[in-house]
Structure 1
Amino acid sequence: MSVRLEKNGAIARIIIDRPDARNSINLAMWETFPSLIADAVSDPAIRVLELRGAEGSGIFSAGADIKEMLAHKDDMSWLSANQAEINRVQHELARADIPTIAFVDGDCIGGGCGLALACDIRVATQRARFGITPGKLGLVYPLHDVKLLTDLVGPGQAKRMLFTAGLIDADEAYRIGMVEIIAEDTSKLIEQMLANSTHSAIENKRFVRRVLEGQGDDDDHSLRVFHAAFTRDDFAEGSSAFVEKRQPRFH
């Protein structure tokens, strides 16, 4: 399988494993992603979803499978179906209920970069390189992915990456806000996340999404979510732990 889901306790990982093609993603793989995301999100034991290249592959993803696209360049129904699947994956990953992390080791290019952009947090090793390269092929990056990029780095840096189609290293990606953490693994970040309330993470993620989609003030729904948190077991445990000066134990 070129893309698969692995679970370990509270952590699920979607693994891109096609090293012979630099982890490029073909239509069959795009079609597989949504079921893997749904499997992780629907599992009550899973609290964090990580996306990464296979161990030892030395690459996150070279993006969409250009050879496959060229083979179908005159088949508009295939091209439309392929783009629809790419858009579906990016949309569902960006809106997955649980926190998501992209762990980028090696190149993260084009559609692979879109996957990383759709995650909540990006952790990159010093070996990581990022590039959005449709300009080299005379193609256009999907609008949803352009929004994800612009939300992260701002319009100026987004245009620079799109217009030049060049690669930037991990330090540059961190400087412009494309990467949140430079590290050799995600263990510390995940440990910190799992120490806190999953309910808080889920609802705060939804609030951030609302802000990114243009909402700037509370409405009836956001106020209900805010007030309901005080009645939940997580608040009882968190407040008790605070008073007792111990670590909370959230379920």
Structure 2
Amino acid sequence: MTPHLRLDGSGPVATLTIDRPAKRNALSLEMWAALPSIMQAVEDDDAVRVLVVRGNEHFSAGADIGEFRTHRRGAAAARRYSEIVHAAERAIATLRKPTIAAVSGYCLGGGCEMALACDLRIASEDARFGITPAKLGIVYSLASTKQLVDAVGPAWARQILYTGDHLDAATALRIGLVNEVHPANDLPARVRELAGTIASRAPVSVRGSEEIIARILHGQHADDDPVRALYDASYTSAEYAEGVDAFLEKRPPRFL
């Protein structure tokens, strides 16, 4: 944990806040390096079912470019820096719990990379998106490029990466970069509502869906033994019994 990353929450929804307003929530190397351990803490907390990632005013203006002359000076240092960023992005992307990026203001560069690592992105109308390696002479990582291509398709991924231009929230919604756009004042309530809904659903179903979607995105198109094991786990779960009972009794299910 760093002074600029704050993990809060009790109950099924945890919130990770990027809190460095003087730098528009630019991500320092220290912040990137802290993210895997934060994700592990979320993973290990059985009470947490959903993680919300948000910024203080802005989501994040990206990596702290002011550090590049020291932490990225020379090929070896740049490679180490990129490995730390990649580990942070992978820690978010592979978290075995649903993640929601609540995006307002700037969501640029590494900030957009972090948002794309989340499962869902809910944006305010004032959100601005961009991925800017072409303005810095950097080649975007393969894993993060795949996240972008999976979200918006190859044509828009090319335009975003080739130009480094900023996109408004309406364009981001149209191309599939975000799931929803709301007035800025309505964003927190909508994110709480969505996180609460997901947290109330059967964990065995949510985990299974997350695992199967990940397998599809990595090229799997047919059942195998691990996928069948997911099915079997649901058939024998207490959640399945509760879901059927609740439906027949015409009441909301209570998944513990």
- Tell me if TM exceeds 0.5: yes
1:40 alignment partner in structure 2:
42
Question: CA shift at 1:66, angstroms?
Answer: 0.8
Letter in structure 1 aligned against 2:138: L
8 Å CA contact retained: 2:13, 2:199: no
1:60-209 correspondence runs (5 A): 60-183=59-182, 184-185=187-188, 186-209=191-214
8 Å CA contact retained: 2:123, 2:178: yes
Using the alignment, how far apart are the partners of 2:16 and 2:192 within structure 1? 16
Using the alignment, how far apart are the partners of 2:207 and 2:169 within structure 1? 28
- Alignment deviations for residues 59-118 of structure 1 (CA, whole Å, 9 cap, x no partner): 111111111012344344432221111101111211101100000011100111000000
Letter in structure 2 aligned against 1:180: N
Give unmatched runs, 5+ long, in structure 2: none
Number of equivalenced pairs: 248
Question: CA shift at 1:228, angstroms?
Answer: 2.4
For the pair 1:230 / 2:232, whether they are aligned, the reply is: no
8 Å CA contact retained: 2:13, 2:196: no
8 Å CA contact retained: 1:51, 1:100: yes
Using the alignment, how far apart are the partners of 1:222 and 1:66 within structure 2? 43
Letter in structure 1 aligned against 2:38: L
Q: 1:161 to 1:234 in 2, by over 3 A?
A: same
Using the alignment, how far apart are the partners of 1:73 and 1:115 within structure 2? 19
Q: 1:73 to 1:98 in 2, by over 3 A?
A: closer
Using the alignment, how far apart are the partners of 1:98 and 1:72 within structure 2? 32
Using the alignment, how far apart are the partners of 1:75 and 1:160 within structure 2? 28
8 Å CA contact retained: 1:4, 1:36: no
8 Å CA contact retained: 2:16, 2:54: yes
- Alignment deviations for residues 160-215 of structure 1 (CA, whole Å, 9 cap, x no partner): 11111111111110000010011312022112212211221112101100000000
Letter in structure 1 aligned against 2:29: L
1:7-46 correspondence runs (5 A): 7-46=9-48
Partner of 2:107: helix, strand, or coil?
A: strand
Letter in structure 1 aligned against 2:26: S
| TM-score (ref. length: structure 1) | 0.96
- Report percent identity of matched pairs: 41
- CA RMSD, aligned part only? 1.1
Question: CA shift at 1:7, angstroms?
Answer: 1.8
Partner of 1:13: helix, strand, or coil?
A: strand
Q: 1:188 to 1:73 in 2, by over 3 A?
A: closer
Give unmatched runs, 5+ long, in structure 1: none
Using the alignment, how far apart are the partners of 2:221 and 2:199 within structure 1? 28
1:204-223 correspondence runs (5 A): 204-223=209-228
Correspondence for 1:6 among 5, 8, 12: 8
Partner of 1:60: helix, strand, or coil?
A: coil
| TM-score (ref. length: structure 2) | 0.94
Q: 1:108 to 1:119 in 2, by over 3 A?
A: same
Shifted more, 194-203 versus 148-157: the winner is: 194-203
8 Å CA contact retained: 2:156, 2:175: yes
Question: CA shift at 1:52, angstroms?
Answer: 0.7
